[in-house]
Amino acid sequence: MKYKTSDTSQYTQAKEYIDTAIIPLIPFSFVSDQEMTQLSLQKEMTQIYIDQIEKELKGRVFVTPEYYYVKNDKISDEKLRLEEYVNHINKQPFKYIFLITPDNKWRKITKDMDVDLIWIPVIKEGNLNQSETQQLIQSQVKEIQSLIMDSWNE
């Protein structure tokens, strides 16, 4: 499910089945040209991952609107805002919350939160339309999918 009318109206009718929220954490920056190129590529890749996962597991996962933040070395500044976001999402009866991000800095600060962090490895540069890249993404999507399914079966 995504945050759009057709899906949310279905969600409100079938909440007991859709118990998993996926929150995309997406960094952006306008400081250097190089960083802009890199982070926009990361954003696109993250969205492809999430679209694929959502397509496979549509009936049980809800992809929330993206959590955007300015890329910063001191990511601890973001902790409070993320906690508030997660608490807010928890107003609905979700049992599992996954954060999906290309930014590996989140690992430390989400340790003590009741969430699962999925870090997706990203390519530094390149073309998302290349068939090797697509194959790579396909196989990693499978991995992430089984990771999510494993936590359902625990």
Partner 1 sequence: MTDKKNQVSRRQFLNYTLTGVGGFMGAAMVAPMVGFAIDPLLKGQKDTEFIYVMDVSEITNEPQRKTFKVDQVDGWYESQVDRTAWIFKTEEGNILALSPVCTHLGCTVDWASNEQYPNQFFCPCHNGRYTKTGVNIEGTPPTEPLHAYEYKVEDGKLLLGKAKKR
Pick 53 or 120: Cβ nearer partner 1: 53
Shortest spacing between CB 59 and partner 1, in angstroms: 3
Q: Is residue 99 within a helix (H) or strand (E), and if so which, with residue range?
A: strand 96-101
Neighbours of 53 (CB within 10 A): 21
Q: Is 29 exposed, middle or buried (CB count within 10 Å of its CB: 0-12, 13-18, 19+)?
A: middle
Pick 11 or 28: Cβ nearer partner 1: 11
Pick 59 or 126: Cβ nearer partner 1: 59
Residues that bind partner 1 (CB under 8 A): 10, 14, 17-18, 55-60, 145, 149
Shortest spacing between CB 149 and partner 1, in angstroms: 6
**3-state SS assignment for residue 5:** helix
Shortest spacing between CB 129 and partner 1, in angstroms: 12
Distance CA 96, CA 22 (A): 8
Pick 70 or 136: Cβ nearer partner 1: 136
